[in-house]
Amino acid sequence: MAAWFETVHEAQRRAKRRLPPSVYSALLAGSERGVSYADNTESFAELGFAPHVAATLAERDQATTVMGQDISLPVLISPTGVQAVHPDGEVAVARAAAARGTAMGLSSFASKPVEEVVAANPSTFFQMYWMSGRDVILRRMQRAREAGAVGLIVTLDWSFSHGRDWGSPTIPEHLDLKAMARFAPEVARRPAWLAGFVRSGSLPDLRAPNLALDGEEAPTFFGAYGDWMTSTPPTWDDIAWMREQWGGPFMLKGISRVDDAERAVAVGCTAISVSNHGGNNLDGTPAPIRVLPAVVDAVGDDVEVLLDGGIRRGSDVVKAVALGARAVMIGRAYLWGLGAGGQAGVENVLDILRGGIDSALRGLGKGSIHDLERSDVLVPLDFTRTLGAHQVAAVDG
């Protein structure tokens, strides 16, 4: 039991203690002042519950489906970039998600190949950015399809800003002798983390193998990042083209505005994720939980709506589902679990969330997450934000 932790906060504390400072700071990754980063988590504390005290049900069901995949709780793994916090990286996360009965989102910037991740968890969604042009995008889609990815996640909520008031982490492009010498002092203070990589027979991999095609060498993370930054941003016609080319379950991640949600429906998306990229995008964007109700009211009958951002407790999940989300996606929470204890740490985080969901359902007198209603949540009058409402007709008409 010594390795077990009971809160996501404790997972974060252990990850900070175990990881080299530069590695840990990369997991924080808020932009500029961190206004959105802070609001993502703090906003949940503004929401209350309206609990029942009698006639609560003995069994509580958390199972649902997202983009055709059955999951045992309304929590999925959100795709995040190079996971050098642990030697097994995304494969360990995929195994943990499979062990707990949920789906895996794999970033195109991941450190492990899509083929290995799908083998570890057949319920894997592959994530892509718009970069390199249609021909290359199509080939990368085909690789993901052939590997067995069951859906595509297209992320649009990521703008370039490396400026942070508390300082950006120092990440080398290559782990050459010069870089290893530079980071040796801080790594030496984290012997357990280093020992894990020594036992695995490898160093942290800072390349993006899922962006390599036809046997070519995988680009470095920063090389791929540069490719993305210099690619012309997509149009809605480009997004429609991607959906048509994929031909299967298709999620658009990064929605904050009602008009963007309506356009996502118009191009045929299976699902959308209300997200501000964990506060690592345009600082000052409201927390996803604040804009979720307006998006659900606009398109909730037409598309699966998920929420991504700020989830730290099972009660946060219940609040999001009660306000209309089909499920949530987690990022930093499972990365802290991975940093604290590898696959077991990620499983631990998912167990914490499952337990918190169960407790909240019990207190609310609900037998299923599907029974949750907005009346179960106390929403302050000035809490919600509605962005881009009633703009689609004006823009497109």
Q: Which residue has the tokens 């008031």?
A: 165
Count of other CB atoms within 10 angstroms of residue 177: 8
Are 33 and 165 in contact by the 8 Å Cβ rule? The answer is yes
Residue 339, phi-psi category: left (phi > 0), alpha (psi -120 to 50), beta (remainder): alpha
User: Residue 261: which residues within 8 A CB-CB, separation 6 or more?
Assistant: 255, 272, 295, 298, 299, 303, 305
Residue 330 CA: distances (Å) to CA of 74, 277, 310: 10, 11, 8
Q: Which of 289, 349, 322 is nearest to 45 (CA)?
A: 289
From the list 86, 277, 370, 390, the catalytic residue is 277
DSSP H or E stretch at residue 305? strand 304-308
Q: What is the Cα–Cα distance from 66 to 282, expressed in whole angstroms? A: 27
Q: Which of 266, 218, 81, 82 is nearest to 158 (CA)?
A: 81
Are 116 and 122 in contact by the 8 Å Cβ rule? The answer is no
Determine whether 277 is an active site residue: yes
For residue 159, what are its two tokens?
Answer: 């703008």
Please say whether the dihedral angle defined by the alpha carbons of residues 245, 250, 253 and 259, taken in this order, is positive or negative.
positive
Rg of the chain over Cα atoms, rounded to whole angstroms, equals: 20
Q: What is the Cα–Cα distance from 48 to 239, expressed in whole angstroms? A: 37
Contacts 24+ apart (CB under 8 A), 136-145: 136/213, 137/242, 138/245, 139/213, 139/214, 140/108, 140/210, 140/211, 140/213, 141/242, 141/245, 141/246, 143/114, 143/210, 143/213, 144/114, 144/210, 145/246, 145/248
DSSP 45: G
Catalytic residues: 277
